[in-house]
């Protein structure tokens, strides 16, 4: 059985349920339909559960067979076929009774969707880093290549060696294949591709090879999509003509280790001019709504035919690896302004999205509810291991604790961050480093949260620009701590959120509607009470004379993924006749 959501208008996680049975797509009748049925169907579709269901062809009438009728599920069945029903194809319904479901917008871990690919991150404990201060260091390793910014390796120049228990045959390996590994592990480009095999000769006897004859075209977004062969049986004697494959990855601009590397990339960007593509609305590094610059105006991309190949071109252009998700249905919020591109069809080898075939948009083709977005693979940097929250009511809030002195094989020492000068920008970086999304609040006092056994201040004077990936990348006092109030109640805290509002003034409307008006003073008493006039109005000869006013209309768009809630609750707002 195969399932899909169809119909219009709808979001990506709702729609008319269609089932592929006996080589034909058909629908399900809404007679006796329950939330239990919806739960089972949503799990078929890769979502964790259902939040509701729809009757009477809310998402439009389907075509073809009505495969199921009078379906009755308890909700815990593994398949819709296990539920009670009248039998396949036995129905007394018309398509005006087609059932639909609304699924919870949360994917089942590991669910394989055509527009989603799961990639296991390479963690330090599984790999081998040849830096003495790194916990995975192997004495006498001998590999000395450029670092991709792995935790503990920043001062040195090093690379990953192979795993002991699993290997890939060297025979038939090329830089195209290596490029796919870089992409899947979150690196932007290809490095040297292959490292000298003799460096690993001493370990050769300990390796068990699993793959050989790996062949990629270069357009794949993951190594598993290339053709390859398995070694069967006793693999210890395999790969007689080759050696274990090792790759050296080129980090993107965000992950480059060393100021010289970053300076060089900044110079390249300046030479190339303003970037023509960006991600907006994402809570984490490497995710967001795709926006492109055309004729000096930023606009969005329509999600028609949006897939992993096109999404990977975007990710690589921005300095990330390949795409792990190609998101449709404005999953990262709706944009504003024009929709520049539609039906983008990349092969996967293009350097820029603008090199891919696409259709120019017309107004009736797409709306901002169809804005395309991406989630990219990024290198595992380990920054989240150097920060934690304590004392909060949920995992999204708490007092910020950071790890210091983790080098030279020592155990990290946890301490607090001084709350002086701590604000939203610093909280943004902390929430990003924690992997918890956006910052709702940056708190300078945290006396109302439970105290942990960590009481020492270890960081002060933190000042962030907001784009950093770790608090250690922000300006701070270093070892010379300076904090007026060192008690735990004055430690910095954060409240993070997966989604946030994002308010944008519609500037063109202000420009188009602005005008000058001369208004008599006797009509401006209310405005004067509200302090809406210039201070010189106090010296005017009330109620005679007039004031010259600048008048305009204003419009604020929220193109984030959460409702905007002002700090003042609705009961604090008052009606005033001036407005």
Task: Note whether residue 17 is domain-resident.
Answer: yes
Tell me if 380 sits within 8 A of 341, measured CB to CB: no
**Residue 506: CB partners within 8 Å, gap ≥ 6?**
336, 554, 555, 556, 557
Is residue 431, in this structure, part of any structural domain at all?
yes
Helix runs in 288-423, H state only: 308-317
Spell out the residues 6+ positions from residue 467 whose beta carbon is closer than 8 angstroms to its own: none
Residues 6+ apart with CB under 8 A from 202: none
User: Does 483 lie in the same domain as 389?
Assistant: yes
Task: State the pLDDT at residue 387.
Answer: 95
Average pLDDT over residues 156-173: 40
Determine the pLDDT at residue 455: 87
Is residue 136 over pLDDT 50?
no
What's residue 406's pLDDT?
64
- pLDDT, averaged across the chain: 80
Q: pLDDT band at 553, cuts 50/70/90?
A: very high
Q: Are 520 and 550 part of one and the same domain?
A: yes
Residue 142: inside a domain, yes or no? no
- Which of 448, 469, 497 marks a domain boundary? 497
pLDDT tens track for 447-487: 888 777 888 899 999 999 988 889 999 999 988 888 988 88
pLDDT value for 188: 63
Q: Answer yes or no: are the C-beta atoms of 472 and 386 closer than 8 Å.
A: yes
Domain shared by 436 and 539, yes or no: no
Report if residue 489 sits inside a domain. yes
Judge if 397 and 482 occupy the same domain: yes
- Residue 267 pLDDT level (bands cut at 50, 70, 90): low
pLDDT tens across 4-28, in order? 898 877 778 889 999 999 989 999 9
Which of 72, 103, 134 corresponds to the end of one domain? 103
Residue 232 has pLDDT above 90, yes or no: no
Question: Cα separations (Å) of 288 from 350, 358, 501?
Answer: 20, 20, 14
Q: Is the pTM of this model over 0.75?
A: no
End-to-end CA distance of the chain: 59
State the alpha helices, DSSP H only, in 389-475: 424-434
Q: Does one domain contain both 369 and 305? A: yes
68 within 8 A of 81, measured Cβ to Cβ: no
124 touches 150 (CB < 8 A) = yes
Residue 428 has pLDDT above 90, yes or no: yes
Range of the domain at 453: 383-405+412-497
In a domain, 535, yes or no: yes
DSSP state of 508: H
Burial of residue 169 (CB within 10 Å: 0-12, 13-18, 19+) is buried
The torsion angles phi and psi of 91, rounded to 5 degrees, stand at: -150, 150
Most confident of 163-177, 299-313, 477-491: 299-313
Q: Are residues 454 and 509 in the same domain?
A: no
Per-residue pLDDT tens for 51-107? 999 998 998 889 899 999 999 999 999 999 999 999 999 999 999 999 999 999 888
Confirm if 304 and 520 have CB atoms less than 8 A apart: no
Q: How much is the pLDDT for 192? A: 47
In the predicted structure, residue 131 carries a pLDDT above the cut 60: no
- Residue 143's Cα: distance from chain center in Å? 33
* 387 and 489 within one domain: yes
The answer to whether the beta carbons of residues 486 and 457 sit under 8 Å apart is yes
Examine residue 350 and state whether it is found in any structural domain, yes or no.
yes
User: Do 389 and 488 belong together in one domain?
Assistant: yes
3-state DSSP assignment of residue 15? strand
Q: Helix count (H) and strand count (E) of the chain?
A: 7, 30
Q: Categorize the per-residue pLDDT at 164 as very low, low, confident or very high, splitting at 50, 70 and 90.
A: very low
User: Is residue 262 predicted with pLDDT exceeding 70?
Assistant: no
CA distance 265 to 252: 9
Q: Could you tell me if 31 and 97 lie in one domain?
A: yes
Would residue 512 count as lying in a domain? yes
> How many domains, the chain?
4
Q: What is the pLDDT of residue 66?
A: 95
pLDDT surpassing 90 at residue 194: no
CATH code for position 59: 3.10.250.10
**What is d(CA 60, CA 53) in angstroms, rounded to the nearest whole number?**
14
User: What Cα–Cα distance (Å) separates residue 495 from each residue in 8, 200, 419, 431, 442?
Assistant: 37, 47, 14, 8, 7
Q: Over 70: is that where the pLDDT of 266 sits?
A: no
Asked if 344 and 417 sit in the same domain, the reply is no
- The reported pLDDT for the residue numbered 366 is 86
Let me know if residue 255 belongs to a domain.
Answer: no
Q: What is the per-residue pLDDT for 115?
A: 57
Do 425 and 471 contact (CB within 8 A), yes or no? no
Q: Are 418 and 477 contained in the same domain?
A: yes
Query: How do residues 477-510 score in pLDDT, each as one tens digit?
Result: 988 888 988 888 899 999 999 888 888 888 889 9
Q: Are 417 and 471 in contact (CB under 8 A)?
A: yes
Boundary-marking domain end, from 103, 133, 165: 103
| pLDDT (0 to 100) of residue 272 | 57
Q: Indicate the pLDDT class of residue 145, thresholds 50, 70 and 90.
A: very low
Whether residues 86 and 41 fall in one domain: yes
């Amino acid at each position: 059985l195969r399932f899909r959501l169809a119909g219009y208008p709808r979001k990506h996680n709702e729609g008319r349920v269609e089932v592929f049975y006996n080589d034909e797509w058909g629908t399900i009748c809404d007679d006796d339909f329950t939330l239990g049925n919806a739960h089972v169907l949503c799990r078929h579709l890769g979502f964790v559960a259902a939040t509701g269901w729809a009757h009477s062809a809310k998402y439009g009438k389907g075509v073809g067979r009505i495969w199921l009728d009078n379906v009755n599920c308890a909700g815990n069945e593994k398949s819709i076929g296990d539920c009670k029903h009248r039998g396949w194809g036995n129905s007394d319904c018309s398509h005006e009774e087609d059932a639909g479901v609304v699924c919870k917008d949360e994917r089942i871990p590991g669910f394989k969707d055509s527009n989603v690919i799961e990639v296991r991150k390479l963690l330090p404990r599984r790999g081998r880093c040849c830096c003495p201060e790194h916990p995975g260091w192997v004495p006498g390793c001998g590999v000395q290549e450029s670092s991709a910014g792995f935790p503990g390796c920043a001062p040195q120049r090093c690379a990953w060696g192979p795993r002991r228990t699993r290997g890939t045959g060297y025979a038939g390996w090329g830089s195209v294949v290596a490029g796919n590994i870089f992409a899947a592990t979150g690196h932007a480009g290809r490095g040297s591709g292959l490292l000298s095999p003799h460096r690993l000769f001493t370990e050769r006897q300990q390796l068990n090879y699993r793959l050989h004859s790996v062949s990629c075209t270069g357009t794949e977004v993951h190594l598993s999509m290339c053709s390859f062969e398995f070694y069967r049986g006793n693999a210890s004697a395999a790969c007689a003509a080759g050696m274990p494959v090792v790759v050296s990855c080129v980090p993107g601009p965000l992950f480059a280790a060393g100021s010289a590397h970053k300076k060089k990339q900044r110079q390249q960007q300046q030479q190339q001019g303003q970037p023509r593509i960006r991600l907006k609305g994402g809570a984490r590094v490497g995710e967001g709504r795709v926006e492109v610059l055309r004729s000096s105006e930023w606009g969005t991309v329509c999600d028609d035919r949006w897939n992993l190949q096109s999404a990977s071109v975007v990710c690589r252009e921005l300095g990330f690896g390949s795409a792990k998700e190609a998101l449709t249905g404005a999953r990262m919020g709706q944009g504003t302004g024009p929709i520049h591109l539609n039906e983008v069809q990349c092969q996967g080898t293009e350097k820029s999205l603008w090199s891919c075939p696409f259709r120019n948009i017309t107004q009736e083709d797409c709306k901002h509810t169809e804005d395309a977005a991406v989630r990219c693979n990024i290198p595992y940097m380990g920054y989240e291991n150097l920060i934690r929250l304590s004392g909060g009511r949920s995992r999204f809030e708490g007092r910020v604790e950071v790890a210091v002195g983790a080098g030279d094989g020592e155990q990290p020492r946890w301490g607090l961050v001084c709350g002086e000068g701590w604000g939203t920008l610093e909280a943004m970086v902390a929430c990003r480093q924690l992997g918890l999304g956006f910052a709702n609040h940056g708190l300078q006092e945290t006396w109302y949260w439970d105290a942990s056994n960590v009481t020492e201040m270890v960081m002060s004077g933190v000042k962030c620009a907001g784009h950093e990936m770790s608090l250690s990348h922000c300006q701070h006092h270093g070892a010379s701590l300076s904090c007026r109030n060192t008690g735990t109640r004055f430690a910095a805290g954060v409240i993070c959120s997966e989604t946030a509002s994002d308010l944008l003034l519609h500037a063109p409307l202000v420009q188009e509607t602005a005008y000058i008006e001369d208004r008599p003073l006797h009509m401006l008493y209310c405005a004067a009470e509200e302090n809406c006039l210039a201070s010189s109005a106090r010296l005017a000869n009330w109620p005679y004379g007039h004031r010259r006013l600048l008048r305009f209309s204003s419009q604020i768009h929220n193109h984030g993924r959460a409702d905007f809630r002002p700090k003042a609750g609705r009961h604090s707002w008052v009606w005033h006749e001036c407005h």
